[in-house]
Amino acid sequence: MDSITLKRLARMKREHQRIACLTCYDATFARLLESAGVEVLLVGDSLGNVIQGHGSTLAVTLDDMVYHSACVARAISAPLLIADLPFLSYATPAQAIESARQLMGDGGARMIKLEGGSQVLDTIRLLSDFGVPVCAHLGLLPQSVHRLGGYRYQGRDAAAAERIRADALALQQAGAELLVLECVPAALATELSQSLSLPVIGIGAGADCDGQVLVLHDLLGASVTGQPRFSRDFLTGQSHGLRGAVDAYVTAVKTGTFPGPEQILF
């Protein structure tokens, strides 16, 4: 695989080639995902849930993120490595700059991701001005779970959808170069994927985004505490092991067969 640049992802969007993204937290899986052709590896703060056993992402520290990002970075060469800025590590632009320095400088990330809309616009402008590629994240924002009142779909009424539309455009104008849309109605995600120039990566956001992302453990059916309904277990029932499961995911994303109707809730 050639090195995956943001330019390459933008070209994939223009050429309607779907982008396969997965979360990753360690070197062994990083090598497996690279060999299966996963273009984007996200060291997500979902590691608070799947690695650390918390009920949310709120306890994850910047040190945790740097540690896992470095574990992944040393194992891969081609995939684009994105790392999440954890809860309250970017509450001021100055703090965001220092946090991004650690994730990229010490953690080896090539892009950072942060959650939110209007409250992060100045921060995104500053980061991108100083050479930090930014992935934005709208819809269900796990770091805001206590304000949202739970993990639920966002943008389901006209006013909420309109806020997401306006935020997405503003984020792109501020310099975001990728957007994760989590748990929004498929029609809204389709519309945004078509109207925005940046690639849109969906999770629980229908089949017509420019790419898809899943939490690795969900794809492997390993989440005994409950598989999200928008994800699919690609491991059970096939005979090629972990690599077979990841291959099946990549193929399903590339051919547009994941998510299927049973994963599309709204």
Q: Which residues bind ligand KIV (CB under 6 A)?
A: 23, 42, 44-46, 84, 180, 182, 203, 213, 215
**Binding at 203: pick from Na ion, ligand KIV, none (beta carbon under 5-8 Å per type):** ligand KIV
Chain residues 163-222 in contact with Na ion, contact rule CB under 5 A: none
106 is in an annotated binding site: no
Counting other chains too, the contacts that 30-34 makes at CB distance below 8 Å and 24 or more residues apart are 30/71, 30/72, 30/75, 30/76, 30/79, 31/75, 31/76, 32/242, 32/243, 32/246, 33/76, 33/79, 33/216, 33/246, 34/1, 34/75, 34/76, 34/77, 34/78, 34/79
Residue 86 interacting with Na ion (CB under 5 A) = no
For Na ion, give the closer residue by CB, 44 or 155.
44
Q: Is 193 a known ligand-binding residue?
A: no
Closest contact distance (angstroms) between CB of 145 and Na ion is 11
Binder of residue 215, out of ligand KIV, Na ion, none (CB less than 5 to 8 A by kind) = ligand KIV
**Nearest distance, CB of residue 45 and Na ion, angstroms:** 4
Q: Is 115 annotated as a binding residue?
A: yes
> Smallest gap, in angstroms, from Cβ of residue 70 to Na ion?
18
Report the C-alpha gap between 82 and 23 in whole angstroms.
9
- DSSP per residue, 100-169: HHIIIIIT--SEEE---SGGGHHHHHHHHHTT--EEEEEES-GGGHHHHTSS-----SHHHHHHHHHHHH
Contact flag: residue 84 with Na ion (CB under 5 A) = yes
Q: Is 98 a catalytic residue?
A: no
| 113 is known to lie in a ligand binding site | yes
Examine residue 45 and tell whether it contacts Na ion (CB under 5 A).
yes
Q: By Cβ distance, which residue is nearest to ligand KIV? A: 44
**E-only strand ranges, 8-120:** 19-23, 40-43, 80-84, 111-113
In whole angstroms, how close is the CB of 239 to ligand KIV at the nearest point? 28
How many of the other CB atoms lie within 10 Å of CB of 105? Answer: 10
Judged by beta carbon, residue 127 or residue 181, the one nearer ligand KIV is 181
Residue 157 annotated as lining a ligand binding site: no
- Sign of CA pseudo-dihedral 117, 121, 127, 133: positive
Q: Specify the residue, 48 or 108, whose C-beta has the smaller distance to Na ion.
A: 48
Q: Which residues are annotated as a binding site for Mg(2+)?
A: 45, 84, 115
Residues belonging to the active site: 182
